[in-house]
Each structure stands twice: as structure tokens, then as C-alpha cells.
Amino acid sequence: MNAMFLLLCLAFALLPANLPADTCLNCHGNPLERAADSALDDCFQLWLDSPHSLAGLSCVHCHGGDPAAEAMNLAHQPPGDEEMLWSTRKQRINATCGGCHEEIFLAFEESEHDQLLKSSGQEEERPTCITCHGGMAAGRIPSSEVAALCLPCHAPQEGQTESLPEKAERLLERMELLGRLHRLIALKGSDRQCTHLRAKLVPRINQLLLDWHKLELEKVDVHSGALLVELSAMRDELSKQFQGKLPVPN
Ligand code: HEC
Ligand code: HEC
Ligand code: HEC
Ligand code: HEC
Ligand code: HEC
């Protein structure tokens, strides 16, 4: 087996197995192409590590083009017949992500925050999906990074006990904890707890995510606080059942 063939096999062995056959990936994931252009290689790597590659989504799902065409000029035929970065430009990126994350997109676009920035001529500065999530890498944001995203426009005021960026960070920490409690109870909870979780709590957790994307921090504060009380009580009940043998998050 020659070395180049081995290299190719290795590279494709690293691709998630659930991906469709697709000329974008054949070319952009090809080790020769990657070695020839480090910027393109970086892009490919970002995508490879993202939740989207894990979910079986390829380049074409955000950039458009023809994923059956072998030649670059034919594959590169994006919507609007413009250039390959057309659908990921600032003016269109929310709609591109929103094509799949529709509820969050609508919450975000209809939010007071977004409307206000648009109507005050701050269209260019307004946060978009990728301000917070990143573009190619789009993924979860650790709570420790969220304050920095708000800081440029929300500098702490003198005499404030909690600045807006600090508040965003605190709430996000709480949402992360809610996520951990949610998973714990879904995995280990009794039938009664799981039924209650699915029927009563999950819809409220989903609503919390929408309120977060509207940047309605007051609402998020109140509702996440109430959910935390309920989920913590369920955790304590579980913990008693397991007599402390369960690693339970606090
Ligand atoms: C035959 C190889 C080949 C195929 C097939 C291919 N690409 Fe590319 N692509 C390239 C090369 C080389 C570049 C960098 C040179 C350029 O921009 O023309 C590039 C650039 C890009 C860029 C950046 C454009 C810019 O303006 O910076 C995007 C986005 C892109 N490709 C997406 C795709 C998508 C989506 C597909 C599949 C529908 C695809 N490519 C298929 C080789 C290919
Ligand atoms: C989840 C959507 C999404 C997917 C999937 C995706 N991209 Fe992108 N891509 C973006 C966004 C958004 C930008 C522009 C913003 C940025 O700089 O991150 C971008 C920018 C690029 C750029 C230009 C980078 C630059 O620095 O100018 C290239 C090249 C590119 N993508 C190639 C690809 C290739 C190749 C794939 C598949 C392996 C792919 N993209 C998959 C969303 C995506
Ligand atoms: C073609 C459909 C599609 C497009 C376009 C798309 N996504 Fe996704 N996204 C998915 C799927 C499928 C998943 C994985 C399942 C899930 O977590 O919902 C996902 C997951 C995510 C996650 C959650 C990650 C996690 O760990 O739970 C975030 C955040 C995200 N996408 C943001 C974005 C952003 C930002 C864009 C635009 C740059 C975008 N998505 C474009 C379909 C899409
Ligand atoms: C102000 C920052 C910010 C903006 C702007 C933003 N998000 Fe989020 N998003 C978050 C945070 C924080 C979370 C919760 C933590 C996490 O999952 O990363 C989140 C969670 C998500 C999730 C995961 C949902 C789940 O089931 O866990 C998706 C999908 C998502 N956002 C998509 C989008 C899309 C699409 C846009 C643009 C319309 C967008 N986000 C704009 C901060 C933002
Ligand atoms: C591009 C600038 C910009 C960014 C980035 C930005 N905002 Fe704002 N935000 C504004 C403007 C402008 C207003 C309305 C005027 C005001 O109250 O300061 C506002 C108002 C708000 C309000 C309501 C008013 C208040 O002070 O209580 C909240 C809540 C808010 N933003 C949250 C956030 C959060 C959380 C982030 C970061 C994830 C963020 N914003 C990022 C520009 C921005």
C-alpha cells in the first residue's frame, strides 16, 4: 500500500461515520488539499470538532453549493449565485442558522434587544448567532466566556452591585447546573420523577432557552431560580434513595 493511499485512509477514518458521501468533504477533507492551504485546513478542523459534524451535517448545509459536483467551479454554486461566503455574511447568518434552529432564531430576531439595535442604526454591531457561538465551530459556550461577549456594549456602571455581564455569567452558570440536574434525573430518576420531568419541567426548560435568546435576563433569573429549587429537591430525594452512593452535582 503506498504512503499517500494510507494517508488518505487515515484522514477519512477520522471523519464521523454518519456523514453522507459529499464532494465538499472529499475535497476539503483531502490531506493534499489541507496541506496546500493552512487557512482551509483550519476551517476544516473547526468543523470537524463541531456539534454539526457529529450530527452528520456538512459544509453544504451552511454554505450551499452542489455536493454532487466533482469540479470546484461546479460545486461552488451557492444560493443567490454569489460567492461561497454569501449565506454566512453578517446580514444573512442568523437566517442561515435559523433554517434549522427556527424557534431560537425567531425568539432572537423578535427580541427587544435585536429590534432596538436595528432601529438605532447599530445593525452592524448587533450580536448574531456567531458572536456567541462561533461560526464554523458553533457549539456550547462556557459560562466563563459569556461576560466578555456583553462587555463591549455593557460596561459596568459605578455603584452597581452586579453589572449586566456579571449577571449574564451568573445566570448561565445556573443554566449549566440545571442542565446537569436534568441529565441526572433523566438517567437515574424514578418513573414518577421522569414523568414529571418530561411533562412539567422540560417545557419550562425549553422556554428558558428562548427567554435567554431574547436576552430577557430578568425573566431568566426568576424562572431559572424556580426550576433550580424544584430540580434540587428531586436530586435530594434521589440522593437519599441511593444513600449518598451517587455522584450528584450541587
Ligand atoms: C475540487 C475541490 C473542491 C470541492 C469539490 C469543493 N471545494 Fe470549496 N474550496 C476549494 C478550494 C481549493 C478553495 C479555496 C480557493 C477558492 O476560494 O476558490 C475552496 C473554498 C471554499 C470556501 C471559502 C470561499 C471563500 O471565498 O473564502 C467555502 C465556503 C467552500 N469552499 C465551501 C465548499 C462547499 C460547501 C462545497 C461543496 C458543495 C465545496 N466547497 C466543494 C476546493 C473545493
Ligand atoms: C454551521 C454552519 C457551517 C458549517 C457546517 C460550515 N461552515 Fe464554513 N463558515 C460558517 C460561518 C458562519 C462562516 C463565517 C464566519 C466565520 O468567520 O466563522 C464560515 C466561514 C468559512 C470559510 C471562510 C473562513 C475565513 O476565515 O474567511 C471557509 C473557507 C469555510 N467556512 C469553509 C467551510 C468548509 C470547508 C466546511 C465543511 C468542512 C464548512 N465551512 C462548514 C459556517 C459553517
Ligand atoms: C442544516 C441544519 C443546521 C444548520 C444550518 C445549523 N445547525 Fe446547529 N445544529 C443542527 C443539529 C442537527 C444539531 C445537533 C442536534 C442538536 O443538538 O440539536 C445542532 C447543534 C447546534 C448547537 C448545540 C450544540 C450542543 O452541544 O448541544 C448549537 C449551539 C448550534 N447548533 C448553533 C448553530 C449556529 C450558530 C448555526 C449557524 C452558524 C447553526 N447551528 C446552523 C443543525 C443545524
Ligand atoms: C448573546 C449570546 C448568544 C447569542 C447571540 C445566541 N446564543 Fe444560542 N446560546 C447562548 C447560550 C449562552 C446558550 C446556552 C449554553 C449553550 O448551550 O451554549 C445557547 C444555546 C443555544 C443552543 C443549544 C440549545 C440546547 O438545546 O441546548 C442552540 C441550538 C443555539 N443557542 C442557537 C442559537 C442561534 C441559532 C442563534 C442566532 C439566532 C443564537 N443561538 C444566538 C448564547 C447565545
Ligand atoms: C452591539 C452592542 C451590544 C451587545 C454586544 C450586547 N448588547 Fe445588550 N443592549 C445593547 C443596547 C444598545 C441596549 C439598549 C440600551 C441599554 O439599555 O443599554 C441593550 C440592552 C440590553 C438589556 C436590557 C436593558 C438593561 O440594561 O437591562 C439587556 C438585559 C441586555 N442588553 C443584555 C445583553 C447581554 C446578556 C449581552 C451579552 C450576551 C448583550 N446584551 C450584548 C447593546 C448590546
Window from 56-60, 79-83, 204-208 with minimum mean pLDDT: 79-83
CA of 71 to the centre of ligand 2 (A): 19
Per-residue pLDDT at 9 exceeds 70: no
SS3 per-residue string spanning the chain: CCHHHHHHHHHHHCCCCCCCCCHHHHHHCCHHHHHHCHHHHHHHHHHHCCHHHHCCCCCHHHHCCCCCCCCHHHHCCCHHHCCCCHHHCHHHHHHHHHCCCHHHHHHHHHCHHHHHHHHCCCCCCCCCHHHHHCCCCCCCCCHHHHHHHHCCCCCCCCCCCCCHHHHHHHHHHHHHHHHHHHHHHHHHCCHHHHHHHHHHHHHHHHHHHHHHHCCCHHHHHHHHHHHHHHHHHHHHHHHHHCCCCCCCCC
Tell me the mean pLDDT in the region 18-24: 77
Pocket test for ligand 5, best of 117, 146, 154 (most atoms within 8 A of CB): 154
Pocket test for ligand 3, best of 58, 101, 180, 213 (most atoms within 8 A of CB): 101
State if residue 100 touches ligand 3 by the CB under 6 angstroms criterion: yes
For residue range 84-106, list pLDDT tens digits in order.
Answer: 888 998 889 999 999 999 999 99
Q: What is the pLDDT of residue 246?
A: 62
Decide: pTM greater than 0.85. yes
The ligand placed nearest to the CA atom of residue 209 is 4
Q: Cell triple for residue 88?
A: 454566512
State if residue 60 touches ligand 2 by the CB under 6 angstroms criterion: no
Q: What is the pLDDT of residue 53?
A: 92
How many angstroms separate the CA atoms of 189 and 231, rounded?
11
Q: What is the greatest pairwise CA distance in the chain? A: 70
Q: For cell 455536493, name the residue.
A: 67
Per-residue pLDDT at 179 exceeds 70: yes
Per-residue pLDDT at 203 exceeds 80: yes
CA of 135 to the centre of ligand 4 (A): 12
Q: What is the pLDDT of residue 233?
A: 95
Task: For residue 217, count other CB atoms closer than 10 A to its CB.
Answer: 16
- Higher-pLDDT residue of 247 and 194 is 194
Per-residue pLDDT at 83 exceeds 60: yes
State if residue 151 touches ligand 4 by the CB under 6 angstroms criterion: no
State if residue 25 touches ligand 1 by the CB under 6 angstroms criterion: no
pLDDT band at 19 (very low <50, low <70, confident <90, very high): low
pLDDT band at 231 (very low <50, low <70, confident <90, very high): very high
For residue range 58-78, list pLDDT tens digits in order.
Answer: 999 999 999 999 999 899 986
Per-residue pLDDT at 114 exceeds 70: yes
State if residue 63 touches ligand 2 by the CB under 6 angstroms criterion: yes
Per-residue pLDDT at 147 exceeds 70: yes
Window from 47-56, 95-104, 143-152, 215-224 with minimum mean pLDDT: 143-152
Q: What is the pLDDT of residue 8?
A: 45
CA of 130 to the centre of ligand 5 (A): 16
Per-residue pLDDT at 11 exceeds 50: no
State if residue 127 touches ligand 3 by the CB under 6 angstroms criterion: no
Q: What is the pLDDT of residue 81?
A: 58
Which of 118, 94, 105, 96 is CA-nearest to residue 214?
105
